[in-house]
Chain A
Amino acid sequence: MLRLAFASTLLLLTSLPGYAAEHGTVTDLEIGQRIYRDGILPDGQPVQALGAGGSILSGKAVACMTCHRRSGFGSAEGRRQVPAITGKILYEQRTHAYREIQGGRHRGEGARPAYTDSSLAQAITQGIDNVGRRLDPLMPRFSFTDSELALVIKYLKNLETLHAPGITDTQIHLATVFTPDTSDDQKIAVRTTLTALFRQINAESRHEDRRAKYGPWSEHWDYGSYRHFEVHFWELSGPSSQWGEQLNKYYAQQPVYALVNGIGTETWQPVHDFCETNQIPCLFPSTELPGKSADHFYSLYFSTGVELEARAAAQYLAKQTTAEHVLQLSRNDAKGYRAVTSFTHAWQTAVPHTVIEHRLTTNVNLDLEALTQLLTTRHVDTIIAWLPEEDLSPLVTLLDTTPSVQRLMLSNSYVKTTPNAFTPSLGAKTYLLSQFIPESKRAKHLVRYLSWAKTNHAETNNTLASANAFYAGMMTVNATRNLRANLVREHLIEELEPMMDNGLYFSVYPNFTLGPNQKFASKGCFVIGPMYPPSNEKNAVLKTEWIVP
């Protein structure tokens, strides 16, 4: 049952029972964190509270973090402002009402004196602030015992209030990581773009510290956080098992606030792990193999990469009446493995379809004889080739002459279009999986990046890598600016989430959207084809279908 004590008078917050002692090595802050983040009380029961409209809420739905976020800096929905609740802010006087700053139509905190432990307890349990105003109905009224309340308050007081590593009084340090498999033209593209971008941003904002110093309070509020951006390029070497150590070394030499873009075609997992462990935002690396982890928070990606293509392929094929027996061809590497396993999982979740996985030995051409044998003994109607052009070209005759094969799907993370060696008859049954806007429509989409690159003399040979770097750089700068003086890393991630939907540029992806705790911005994939339309439709635009798996 709901344990509510709304009629309770002031709660006495004196000495706490020794929770650390009772819970072995678990500290008060860890228990407080569980209440704050997961809505779980010290005894393992869910937190309970009364919500707006009299609804009874419990557990994670009513955990402080759900609305006030991991950073404690709050959030905004509609015209409602969920206020910041870090100890530093609550225990400080608020001199200006939120609507004075944001305009009259916005709801938010009014001016108020500094909270005390007892007035904060009253706000949490009764929904009354420290000058007697009712809090927004979105704020539930919590049912806590005195000792639970003390744990929550202790946790709030301890929420991050210091500047993150990588921030100095005058600079914000960022790093861009290149894994060893990154090509020279990719590196040049990213370096050129980010160097030009931060040079421009620093030049444009050089007077902001003066504005903050000599302007009225509102200008201090706007510009007081002005700092120069400095980007460092970290190149990794050797096998991926050694990257973590190299990253730690770079980080020890030069702490950074966040990682911005970067490129890895083989795997991103060690960089992902480094960021999650050190609580460093990792913002939009160009990778087909994003990292995975249980408590994934700090890494934001353009998409789930090759996995997105695989899942889209499964969803697309599930709708085709002639697709039942699928053969997947791949190289024997991490990317091939992720593509194949993601497809197989998605394809067999819906219906117990047949799927055959056939892998190449890394960097050795496919055993044509074995594949011919396979195609004569097993019925295959669809082939998905997670292969680059050099692996595909030798297969043309075999694929073209196997009558049962009705459909060949290629991946845009391996090929841009159909290989030159393809015959019209093979092209007529070939489809391309692509997360990117088709080439013919990209120029319009990239107009902001392209015109910026031109005016800033930052044009490169690799538009894809540059446009991604430009996007990641712009978002990092804009989000950091929005944080003003609160340069807390968790808050940076939270700030980026709602910004994505209103972006003015998209790189080569058709659109981006994020929301609370969403980590992958582009969520769909095009299926383009057939790649060679029938001759009477020669000038026809290729058919595209947008699949959101």
Chain B
Amino acid sequence: MYNLGLLRIPVAAASVFAVLLSTSPHGVSAEDHSHHQQMIDKNSGYSVTKANYPLPKVKLINTEGESVSLDSIVSDGPLLLNFIFTTCTAICPIMTATFMEVQDAASKQSITLKQVSISIDPEQDTPAVLQGYAKKFHARDDWRFYTGDKTDIIKIQKAFKTYRGNKMNHTPLTLIRMSSTAQWVRIEGFASATDVIDEYRKLMTE
């Protein structure tokens, strides 16, 4: 079975996670506890935690087919990162629609935000396929899509503790980092564009 080392909050079941929190924090390891600051929004279906993730020294491939190091992709902030694949039917269309709305909201509110979407189906999602996907969701210059070597993409998912073996087992995850020295903020679940922007604003004022 899965041991995600994370809190799982059922949507619209405030009472359930109240119980979870007060009694047994199901699946949260001691190690995670020491690093994470738990912040839970009781009215929505997502959880927010903070952590540092040591990232592997690997290269990804952008939609132009150029090789780019992961370090340089995540070097500046503020940065928003998610994992998707283009033939995904249930979770990714929503994740990607949210990124599209964040892009629009950010530009309207004059927020500078880099957005990164990494494919977890790299052999299907070639640079050309990702280019088409980016176009379909009106991605502009600040929102980049990446594919890469299958084993490198697995390393990245493992580093962010989101590798589930089979791409069909993936769960919705959004990561925010304000700068290369800051901690990653991990949003598990479906946060709306407004929620994401709110999380970003909270971080700005910290």
Binding site for B on A (CB under 8 A): 51-57, 61, 66-67, 69, 75-80, 82, 103, 105, 107, 134, 136-138, 497-498, 501-502, 511, 513, 515-518, 523-524, 548-549
Contacts and interface: CB of A to CB of B under 8 A. Distances in A.
A137 B190 contact: yes
A38 to B, nearest CB: 14
Interface string B59-93: 00000000000000000000000000101111101
Nearest to A62: B93
B170 A502 contact: no
Interface of B is mostly: loop
A52 B124 contact: no
A76 B168 contact: yes
Given A515-B85, A515-B167, A52 B94 contact: yes
B97 interface: yes
B12 interface: yes
A107 B122 CA distance: 28
Nearest to B61: A548
B166 A518 contact: no
B166 to A, nearest CB: 5
Given A523-B123, A524-B123, A137 B11 contact: yes
A518 B124 contact: yes
Contacts of B88: 77, 515-516
Contact of A53 (B12, B165, B168, B195): B195
Given A54-B194, A75-B89, A105-B2, A501 B94 contact: no
A67 B89 contact: yes
B1 A103 contact: yes
A549 B125 CA distance: 10
Nearest 7 Cβ contacts at the A-B interface: A53-B192, A498-B168, A78-B171, A523-B123, A52-B190, A55-B97, A515-B87
A400 to B, nearest CB: 34
A79 B195 CA distance: 23
Contacts of A107: 10
A137 B97 contact: no
B169 interface: yes
A105 B4 CA distance: 11
Given A77-B88, A78-B170, A516-B88, A137 B45 contact: yes
A497 B85 CA distance: 14
Nearest to B101: A55
Contacts of A53: 94, 98, 190-193, 195
Contact of A498 (B8, B101, B122, B166): B166
Contacts of B190: 52-53, 137-138
Interface string B125-145: 010000000000000000000
A67 B89 CA distance: 6
Nearest to B169: A78
A518 B87 contact: yes
Contacts of B33: none
Given A513-B123, A515-B168, A57 B90 contact: no
B168 A55 contact: no
B164 interface: yes
Given A66-B93, A134-B11, A515-B87, 20 more contacts: A51-B94, A52-B190, A54-B193, A54-B194, A55-B101, A55-B193, A56-B97, A75-B90, A77-B169, A77-B170, A79-B171, A82-B90, A107-B10, A137-B45, A138-B190, A498-B168, A502-B166, A515-B85, A518-B124, A548-B122
Contacts, number: 106
Contacts of A524: 123
Contacts of A137: 11-12, 45, 190
Contacts of B123: 513, 523-524, 548
Nearest to A56: B97
A549 B168 CA distance: 23
B58 to A, nearest CB: 15
B98 A515 contact: no
Interface string B9-28: 01110000000000000000
A134 B12 contact: yes
Contacts of B2: 79, 105
B97 A61 contact: yes
Contact of A513 (B97, B121, B192): B121
Given A78-B91, A137-B11, A516-B87, A57 B167 contact: no
19 contacts: A51-B97, A53-B195, A55-B192, A57-B93, A67-B89, A77-B91, A77-B168, A77-B169, A78-B170, A134-B11, A136-B11, A137-B12, A501-B166, A501-B168, A502-B165, A515-B168, A516-B88, A518-B87, A518-B124
A523 to B, nearest CB: 4
Contact of B124 (A69, A134, A515): A515
A138 B124 contact: no
A80 B45 CA distance: 14
Nearest to B192: A53
A53 B45 CA distance: 8
Contacts of B124: 513, 515, 518, 523
Contacts of B170: 77-78
A76 B192 CA distance: 22
Nearest to A133: B12
**Which of B89, B191, B195 has most chain A Cβ within 10 Å?**
B89
Contacts of A67: 89-90
Contacts of A69: 89
A77 to B, nearest CB: 4
A148 B170 CA distance: 33
Nearest to A61: B93
Contacts of B166: 498, 501-502
Contacts of A511: 150
A367 to B, nearest CB: 38
A501 B1 contact: no
Given A61-B97, A515-B121, A524-B123, A80 B168 contact: no
A69 B98 CA distance: 23
Contact of B90 (A54, A105, A138, A502): A138
B91 A138 contact: yes
